[in-house]
Chain A
Amino acid sequence: MKTWLLLLLGLGIVAAGCYTVVVHPQTSGMETSESPRHCSDCHNSADYYYWHFPYLDTWYWRYSYWRSYYCRPWWWDDYWWWDDSQAPKWEAPRYYEDRRSPQEPGLPGGAIRVKPKKSKGEEDKSIRQDTKQAPEKPTVPNYYQNRKRPKAESPSQPKKKKKKEKAKEGN
């Protein structure tokens, strides 16, 4: 009795600091006017995690019936930061209106914009919602244009983009 209770305790200790993440890490309070946070700041490698499930690397992924039965988590929802130029119309406008590029100051969700800086040395700590100004015409940043939705038929993991390639895309 004591033996397997100790073993279970050890298992619990190992599981406490493991790979699995159940609660989303706290991100509020981490952004500033100079370095606003965006979901893509952490999730720009989301496709890596999307693919990186043991079954997704096996031949199960090739067949739609087995793929749905084994691979798709019941809680999983499609991620928003793929290039949804082929997405349904009801979804695309929301994508374009609410999302902000990493270059523009803003907060996750894009509903609030930081007040533009007046000078280089001036710090702007205020954040207010500007409802009087006409919304800028949304443009899809290059960063998002290149992020295609993963093809369902491809079992291999997409290669992680190197920093140099990302910098070229940003320019």
Chain B
Amino acid sequence: MLSRLLLVVAVVASLASFGQAGSPPTNKDVAFTQRAEIGARWAGMGGACIAIVDDGSAIWYNPAGLGKIRRIELLGTLTNANLRIETSWAGRKSSSSVSTTRFQNASFSYPFPTYRGSLVAAGAVTRATSFDQYLNRYGAQGYHDIEEKKVVLTAWSGGFAVQVSPNVFLGGEGHLFTGDLDYHDQLWPWGSCDEPAVFSQTGDLSGYGGSLGMLYVSRFISVGLTLKTPQRITVEGEEVWTDAGCIRYNPPVKYNIDLPFSGAIGIGLMPPNFTIAVDVIYTDWHQLGFPGGIRDESGNFIFDPTTDLRFGVEYTLPILPLRFRGGYSYVPLALNVFDAEKNRTNITFGLGTLVESSLAVDVAWVHSCFERFSPQDEYREKRTLDKGFLTLTYRF
């Protein structure tokens, strides 16, 4: 669900297109249609955790995993992200980067005392994965484009899980979105003026959604299933166009974006001292609901269904409370207006330790990269994201 916020940015940004001949498809921006990693432990395992998640992060990955929590828990995550964009436009190369540090999420989980089984309730507030972008490009005929984009989407969620049989957990969660969007684009030259043309778009984001999950756990293997229900995101904002000193205010905009169902299955294996997880996530982006549709002038979809593959391994030292993790994920791009030269892949590492059997400290690092190009615009782009996570989990 948090992945979709980045899709929102892409779709919202596509509202305004300069449409200049020879200019890149500026606002048909990256649709990061991936599920954002929440929590250092699972980020360090490539985001593969649907079948093995067992802390407050389960409210996002698989609500049924909340049922495995046996102690009252407080969890918090801090992230630092650095996005670097390298472009080549009509033979001219440039690069730009932006760095952000954000408090990513906090959750509280309460397992009710039971005589048998498990009943857990949890609440969480999660700041959307930072879609902060600074893009500085030079092109042919003296074109210069500076694009700044910032989206913050906060999800307020509540979830629960119950053990319905000795090996099966069921869970569900619902959430409300709040947030804001801030987008500015400057383009030189514009007409005969030396001043750039500036397009600004600001708005408030709101919405709701939910998910259901199931978890089967046995001694060495576990299987998880999740279904993210359709989500609605409402955008309310205004657009301002500045051209040669003349400012035009477009009418306020308000519209809804309906994100489709998304299903996922995960398998976890737990041989002695190891935890191995594999996730497969499918989303049919053809069912995306957006004003104006998601087809081009030829009637073809501009988004493709995606199947994400995630893999993670964790090793626990037998003599010390230390765990080491690594992961790999293949997350194809859903937006097909570009030709993807190298689809998005993530490489992850992490480690964790336990203090006094109550405080878990986990750190992780995620390296994400993809490349794409647009032949008709003579435009190539490479995006590299390095993101660090720090999670503290305290159990009473």
**Nearest-CB residue, chain A, relative to B220:** A58
Find A3's partner among B112, B163, B229, B316 (CB 8 Å cutoff).
Answer: B229
Give A54 to B217 CA distance when docked, in angstroms.
6
Give A77 to B174 CA distance when docked, in angstroms.
33
Contacts of A69 in B (CB 8 A): 71, 354, 357-358, 360, 395
Q: Taking each of B170, B218, B220, which has the highest tally of chain A beta carbons within 10 Å of its own beta carbon? A: B170
A20 touches B273 (CB 8 A): no
Contacts of A7 in B (CB 8 A): 172, 212, 229
Find A22's partner among B54, B119, B396 (CB 8 Å cutoff).
Answer: B119
> Given A66-B321, A68-B357, A69-B395 in contact, is the A21-B217 Cβ separation under 8 Å?
no
8 A Cβ contacts from A8-39 to B: 8, 11, 14-15, 18-24
Find B165's partner among A18, A62, A72, A75 (CB 8 Å cutoff).
Answer: A18
A49 touches B116 (CB 8 A): yes
**Nearest-CB residue, chain A, relative to B116:** A21
Contacts of B271 in A (CB 8 A): 59
A8 touches B172 (CB 8 A): yes
| Count of residues in B whose CB is under 8 Å from the partner chain | 45
| Interface: A90 (CB within 8 A) | no
Nearest CB of A to B209, in Å: 8
B117 touches A73 (CB 8 A): no
Give A114 to B217 CA distance when docked, in angstroms.
46
| Interface: B237 (CB within 8 A) | no
**Nearest-CB residue, chain A, relative to B272:** A59
A22 touches B115 (CB 8 A): yes
Nearest CB of A to B322, in Å: 10
Give A50 to B111 CA distance when docked, in angstroms.
17
Find B163's partner among A20, A23, A73 (CB 8 Å cutoff).
Answer: A20
Contacts of B111 in A (CB 8 A): 73-74
Give A64 to B165 CA distance when docked, in angstroms.
27
A72 touches B230 (CB 8 A): no
| Interface: B210 (CB within 8 A) | yes
| Count of residues in A whose CB is under 8 Å from the partner chain | 35
A20 touches B164 (CB 8 A): yes
A3 touches B358 (CB 8 A): no
| Interface: B113 (CB within 8 A) | yes
Nearest CB of A to B357, in Å: 4
Give A3 to B166 CA distance when docked, in angstroms.
29
Contacts of A11 in B (CB 8 A): 170, 172, 212
A15 touches B162 (CB 8 A): yes
| Interface: A52 (CB within 8 A) | yes
| Interface: B144 (CB within 8 A) | no
Against A, the Cβ 8 Å flags (1 = close, 0 = not) of B320-340 are 010000000000000000000
Contacts of B321 in A (CB 8 A): 63, 65-66
| Interface: B4 (CB within 8 A) | no
**Nearest-CB residue, chain A, relative to B358:** A69
| Interface: A57 (CB within 8 A) | yes
Instruction: Give chain B's interface secondary structure class.
Output: loop
Nearest CB of A to B41, in Å: 13
> Given A55-B68, A66-B354 in contact, is the A18-B163 Cβ separation under 8 Å?
yes
Give A49 to B163 CA distance when docked, in angstroms.
14
**Nearest-CB residue, chain A, relative to B271:** A59
Q: Taking each of A8, A14, A24, A62, which has the highest tally of chain B beta carbons within 10 Å of its own beta carbon? A: A8
A14 touches B71 (CB 8 A): no
Give A7 to B172 CA distance when docked, in angstroms.
9
Give A72 to B360 CA distance when docked, in angstroms.
16
Contacts of B116 in A (CB 8 A): 19-21, 49
Find B54's partner among A63, A70, A72 (CB 8 Å cutoff).
Answer: A70
Contacts of A70 in B (CB 8 A): 54, 68, 70
Against A, the Cβ 8 Å flags (1 = close, 0 = not) of B157-182 are 00000111111001010100000000
8 A Cβ contacts from A143-168 to B: none
Find B170's partner among A15, A62, A66, A72 (CB 8 Å cutoff).
Answer: A15
> Given A58-B270, A72-B71 in contact, is the A21-B115 Cβ separation under 8 Å?
yes
Nearest CB of A to B223, in Å: 12
A73 touches B70 (CB 8 A): yes
Contacts of B68 in A (CB 8 A): 54-55, 70
Contacts of A8 in B (CB 8 A): 172, 174, 210, 212
Subset of 18 A-B contacts with CB under 8 Å: A4-B212, A11-B212, A18-B163, A18-B165, A21-B116, A22-B115, A22-B119, A49-B116, A55-B68, A58-B270, A59-B270, A62-B318, A65-B357, A66-B316, A70-B54, A73-B111, A74-B71, A75-B113
B residues bordering A, Cβ < 8 Å? 54, 68, 70-72, 111-119, 162-167, 170, 172, 174, 210, 212, 217-220, 222, 229-230, 270-273, 316, 318, 321, 354, 357-358, 360, 395-396
A residues bordering B, Cβ < 8 Å? 3-4, 7-8, 11, 14-15, 18-24, 49, 52-55, 57-59, 62-66, 68-75
Q: A18-B163, A19-B165, A19-B166 are in contact. List 13 more A-B contacts (CB 8 A).
A: A4-B212, A8-B172, A8-B174, A14-B170, A15-B170, A19-B116, A19-B164, A24-B115, A59-B270, A64-B357, A72-B70, A74-B395, A74-B396
